[in-house]
Amino acid sequence: MSDLLSSVWLADQPPVWSPWQWESVLGQARQSGLLGRLGMLFRDRAWLDAVPAGPRHHLESGVTLVERQQHEVQWEVHNLRKALRDLAAPVVLLKGAAYLMASLPPARGRLFSDVDVMVPYAQLQAAEAALFGAGWVSDERDPYNQRYYRQWMHEIPPLRHVLRGSVIDLHHTIAPPTSRFKVDADRLLANLEPLPGCEGIYVLGPVDMVLHSAVHLFQEGEFDRGLRDLLDLLDLIRHFEQQDVFWPDLVDRAHDLGLQVPLSHALRHLTRLFAYTPPVAVMETVLSIQPPAIQRVVMDWALKKALKPVHPTCDSAGTGLARWTLYVRSHALRMPVHLLLPHLARKAWMRRFPGAEKPANA
């Protein structure tokens, strides 16, 4: 049994799966956060009628859930906008919320967990205070974690609304300032696009949005949503490449921001998994900026395994090692070793001797 989920997105015929293969695919989709998207794919292509009743119910349930979540995200963005009305700076939606509010293709069927927002660093405190006033309170009770986020990360600890439970991740840039792929937020802020009908709210410019998605994917330590992030990228690129300037802009911008490596990994795996081919000239440039051979081979091996759904049917020899390699790598990218080692030691200690009990079972 293998990864059936990766291949379905490009099929032009409804896949013919045995009942047991359906069970696997649905499990893989649930684990990858892609059940709603899979359901939407079947619905958009009018394939649902060809699906046996058992699996069809699950696809439809997946669609119901994402439709509700999107409705809620729109409402949260509305509340967020109200809360940050007086902020003397642009409020930038990132990732899912941005795709949804800007009506971009990856929003279709996408599952949401929180709303990602970016404001200029100078306005971070004011934004946090305004959100606090509107009911969003920091979830993080541990003082070490609080300090770690605020001192080293590109975002503050998640803010949860006291009544609605909605979560906001408040960023001041898109990668940790200590990271190899740190990005000067001012350069992103200089290139924003306004959201029509949503005064004061912005999204990143097209190429920055693509680069953010690539950085996010390959800097994450956890790959359970890796396939979803890669599909986001595929959708974004296919949408934006209809503008002639997109590819040259993207390559230039990746160079300017020092993000060629994440971009090259992203394009390689889009090609491998979805047979997507960027223009030849772009591929040549991208190939010329690849990391050294040994790194490339290791990364290819690890990503090939880690980008599969986290599901027993997709595990093979080395899957665990591959995920661990990427986990370590993601940390090494985020912080220099003299900061990283004390942090990981501290986290290991906190896990071993938790101050508070874990929540009980249902």
Partner 1 sequence: MRLADLSSTELDKQLCGAGLVLGVGPFAFRIKSPIESVHEGLHRLYSNYPLLRGDQFADFDVTVAGGRGVRRWWRPQAIFRFDGGEPFLPLPFTHAFPLLEWAMNWCVSMHVQRYLLLHAAVVEKHGLAMILPAPPGSGKSTLCAGLIHRGWRLLSDEMALIALQGDLVTPFGRPVSLKNQSIDIIKAYAPEAVFSPTVHDTHKGDVALLKVPTDHVHRIAEPAKPRWVVFPKYAAGEEACLTPRSKAQSMLELGRNSFNYMVLGRTGFVGLSRVIDASDCYDFRYSRLDDAVAVFDQMVADSVVA
Residues that bind partner 1 (CB under 8 A): 18-20, 22-23, 27, 30-31, 52, 54-55, 57-58, 60-61, 64-65, 68, 71, 310-312, 315, 358, 360-362
CA 87 to CA 47: how far, in whole Å? 47
Q: Which is nearer to partner 1, 337 or 360 (CB)?
A: 360
CB 206 within 8 A of CB 246: yes
Q: Which is nearer to partner 1, 18 or 288 (CB)?
A: 18
Q: Which is nearer to partner 1, 185 or 310 (CB)?
A: 310
Paired residues of 160 in beta bridges: 137, 167
CB 188 within 8 A of CB 204: yes
Q: Least distance (Å) from partner 1 to the CB of residue 57?
A: 5
Nearest 5°: the CA angle 216, 72, 217 is 10
Q: Least distance (Å) from partner 1 to the CB of residue 29?
A: 10
Q: Which is nearer to partner 1, 46 or 53 (CB)?
A: 53
Q: Least distance (Å) from partner 1 to the CB of residue 69?
A: 9
Q: Which is nearer to partner 1, 61 or 243 (CB)?
A: 61
Q: Least distance (Å) from partner 1 to the CB of residue 221?
A: 17
Q: Least distance (Å) from partner 1 to the CB of residue 28?
A: 8
Tokens standing for 256?
A: 């300017």
Q: Which is nearer to partner 1, 54 or 194 (CB)?
A: 54
Q: Least distance (Å) from partner 1 to the CB of residue 26?
A: 9
